[in-house]
Structure 1
């Protein structure tokens, strides 16, 4: 043992050489496996070499297309991103995200000793609080049996301490990005449902064997690919003789310059087209089936070409679950096993709510604001302001608020009037601050018969709305001091073109650097929006350095109301339940 320590510290002798040799062998093995996968898909020598180089450059598991095996019940190990050993993630300890948002789960920092050594005991106490649930990373806060607990830090600077950490109210999910094949699309597979389709088995019989019996797409059994929990997902559509693709929010967008991985293929002997993916557990996403005449392979290389695919998209007629889109259409919902909705979805209404629509004139036109309050109770002390109100009303926010447990809130659901007005207001702080301060909040106060102070107002938004919520808390504490930020557009620059690049932080993040700020933020972002994920990590680090009270969560999904709706409810519980049961929120993501 003494000699081994001496080797490790001897300037690269002994142990260092062995570690470098192991890593070199692993890089070569990853390159050979990637080249073999590319060859199976018909790639030429140049493409195989490029695939091998990508496997060497990207330190992440790269699942193969064949050789799936059934996954046993225990939780898989999360692969470390130092190309070396594998370590099981330890909820409640200091964790670090994988570099550049790649797949692989949360990772424990090396060399955790001292205070961090007590994390296991505390985690055991949390898990034991819920009878019958011994899953790592799940537990409850005292007095709130529906809550789940976990912790991590995007910036990697936080530590587990006996005090100063904040307990999160929400569901602890293991959010994993969709593994990609060499061409950028999700892993394709010859699923059991595809084989049954080719064998002539009726659609109803195939659907009856899926995870959601009788429904399409058919979700197959659990499989494991290099530590990632996946399931076969088979989509089917009628064959009209027109090229047809499945547009999964966030997943298909990532390879829109080459849509071939999303194309459904004809089933021999049947008037059907089908496609099967391997998708991660816990994913929730909206999707559409788009039949596009004369569809070019690079349909998404231009904005107009991709909007043509959007316009052609229709909900899946074999899927009974749907959601309205911000563009005015309808999409179907894919809910993978492991996704846990907010408890309000399965609950009966607990409150009788009253909804009043206010019509507020302004420079941008007449704006609708829906005010939702308990009918037989005093006006609640908390006011939640939701941007993009038309979409929220279509999403059934009234019913979910009525079934939600915890303290009652008054809600102002603010219409964006139109997409053009939305783009002219939400990302521009001076404009949206004036809209709230001069138009919306005075009208809501008159309707409620009381005015809420800035410490009682929570502003929530998505995309541009998320950027607006963060900016209002940071720069206008006289309006609000608390915000819920979902998929925030932190790349926005007022001086840039209509669609600024997402490679670098925008105006808000640059303004916040080296400042002392206050306010409370809950930041959420999806695994299938890598640019926003990366920028959200940078925003979190800057906001923490500025002194803001902040928690963050990574959710398995894209730029999508499929998870935004439940995410707002989880965030609302996180912000309010601490005042009821004494639990303090902390960073949460898996």
Structure 2
């Protein structure tokens, strides 16, 4: 009703919107929610502002490969108000951003991408992403995603609980002002690892959540460590879960990916990377923060390529890494197109599972995929089927979401709790 009020777009109306926050979420039919997104044009109405489109990009909802076309918010004539309505499942969770564009080449390229030209559409999206902004009306903390632009968080009412993240979420933008992040805890140390085998250097974060029984603490290796250290700091949630008794005192090692090129090389079933971790890094970790060196409690956790690498490490070196936490694992690697077309030979790691990797040892796995990820969802289904057929213990969860850290952060904590719980 607020969008049809006579004072829509006025200062008093906007003050009320800022107090209420956005997006607006209302109950809809058949397990759906009606969602309204709002954006305020900082340059005023259509006569004063050069903005002609405000594209919306929603993780797992916006299809960058389809010829259905992008979606733009709509301006209320004579005002600085842009809005867009959609429907989302009541268990959905994901991130989103706005992309305001002037009436220039960027608008034209994205609006006029030829039907069926998936490469052209993806290129057009890449062209407009540098203009992406987070939602200033959203009271939750925004962050920078893997593409390097700001995104905001949206949780439907029945999305799986993420109580441990509430403290970090509460540090969100308030009326456009971003509150500084939580300070790093005393139990956090950053080290520089120079690998002779890999010929490169990277940051390593070591985080401990207790010192009562140092030699008995389990170890978790978190790939893409720079994300969990900087963009989505995991310290407070880990402490919250430990204090609640959901996680044991533990040692967490966050391994920086260095850059996208080396990430694509090292996290795609690369034996040299894991030999370097095993032979060079882990002895140093033991000196920095003593832990229990047992495959039964050593977790390798990763997302996307990291999820692929985590399972690869545990299958090939199960006497060191016995617990895998894989989220949205890119098990289609190395040939996405062939895997999309149903070629089993395209998925190299799935073939390795079929051949019985693991030295006859039963791994413990927590695997998660989003039901909006299509190909990843399908290859994760197949990976779980094969792993269970080989006798591995697998906890598999499919969530209503996409390829999104907002989903992964909850599954990361749930997976650690499941993998470190007593075996049934």
Cα separation, partners in 2 of 1:347 and 1:310, compared to 1, 3 Å: closer
Flag structure 2 segments of 5+ consecutive residues without an equivalent: 42-48, 169-181
In the alignment, what sits opposite 1:247? 57
Tell me how many residue pairs correspond in the alignment: 375
String of CA shifts for 1:30-83, please: whole Å, max 9, x gaps: xxxxxxxxxxxxxxxxxxxxxxxxxxxxxxxxxxxxxxxxxxxxxxxxxxxxxx
Q: Deviation per CA, 1:313-358: give whole Å up to 9, x if none.
A: 1111111321231233321111111123333235799xx7601111
Q: Tell me the CA shift for residue 424 of structure 1.
A: 0.8
Separation in 2, partners of 1:486, 1:390: 17
Pairs within 5 Å for 1:27-38:
none
> Cα–Cα, structure 1 residues 571 and 353, in superposed 2: closer, same or farther, change >3 Å?
farther
CA contact (8 A) 2:269 2:312 kept: no
Could you tell me how far 1:509 is from its partner in structure 2?
Answer: 0.5
Give the aligned partner of residue 377 of structure 1. 212
1:422 pairs, out of 239, 263, 266, with 263
Structure 2 partner of 1:59: none
Check the 8 A contact 1:197/1:203 in 2, yes or no. no
Could you give the per-residue CA deviations for residues 549-588 of structure 1, whole angstroms, max 9, x where no partner exists? 1110011211011111111101111122336xxxx4xxxx
Alpha-carbon separation, structure 1, partners of 2:413 and 2:136: 29
Unaligned runs of 5+ in 1: 1-191, 585-590
Q: Which residue of 1 aligns with 2:176?
A: none
**Partners of 2:218 and 2:208 in 1: CA distance:** 11
d(CA) in 2 for partners of 1:219 and 1:556?
17
- Does residue 569 in structure 1 map to residue 413 in structure 2? yes
* C-alpha distance in 1 between matches for 2:133 and 2:9: 26
Hey, what does 2:174 align to over in structure 1? Answer: none
| Matches of 1:541 and 1:248, distance apart in 2 | 30
Alignment of 1:29-68 (within 5 A): none
- The C-alpha deviation readout for 1:281-329, integer Å capped at 9, x for no partner, is 1211111101234323255643432222322211111113212312333
State the alpha-carbon separation in 1 of the partners of residues 313 and 375 from structure 2.
Answer: 23
Within the candidate set 310, 313, 327, 2:132 is matched to 313
Counterpart-to-counterpart distance in 2, 1:559 and 1:501: 18
Shift in CA distance, 422/471, structure 1 to aligned 2, threshold 3 Å? same
What aligned pairs does 1:360-509 form with structure 2 within 5 A after superposition?
Answer: 360-362=193-195, 363-374=198-209, 376-379=211-214, 380-394=216-230, 395-404=232-241, 405-406=244-245, 407-449=248-290, 452-493=293-334, 496=335, 502-504=340-342, 505=344, 506-509=347-350
Q: State the distance in 2 between where 1:342 and 1:409 align.
A: 20
Q: Secondary structure at the match of 1:216?
A: coil
**Residue 223 of structure 2 is aligned to residue 223 of structure 1:** no
**In the superposition, relative to structure 1, how do residues 242 and 557 fare at CA in structure 2: closer, same or farther (>3 Å)?**
same
Q: Partners in 2 of 1:364 and 1:388 — Cα distance?
A: 18
CA distance in 2 between counterparts of 1:369 and 1:402 reads 19
Q: Is the 8 A contact 1:234 1:274 kept in 2?
A: yes
User: What corresponds to 2:178 in structure 1?
Assistant: none
Contact residue 194 and residue 275 of structure 1 kept, 8 A? no
Contact kept? 2:269, 2:308, Cα under 8 Å: no
Shift of 1:269: 2.3
1:428 match: secondary structure: coil
RMSD: 2.7
State the alpha-carbon separation in 1 of the partners of residues 276 and 123 from structure 2: 31
**Structure 1's 199 and 399: CA in aligned 2 closer, same or farther, altered over 3 A?**
closer
Distance 1:375 1:470, change over 3 A: closer
Question: 1:193-251, CA deviations, whole angstroms, 9 ceiling, x for partnerless residues?
Answer: 5445896675447648xxxx71111112x121xxx311111112234423211100121
* Residue from 154, 165, 182 that aligns with 1:345: 165
Give the secondary structure class of the aligned counterpart of 2:308: helix
Match of 2:379 in 1: 535
Match of 1:330 among 132, 142, 150: 150
Post-superposition CA distance 1:478-504 (Å, at most 9, x none): 3301110100001002xx48x875444
Larger gyration radius, structure 1 or structure 2: 1
Query: Partner residue of 2:173?
Result: none
Change (3 A) 1:199 1:306: closer
TM-score normalised to structure 1 length: 0.59
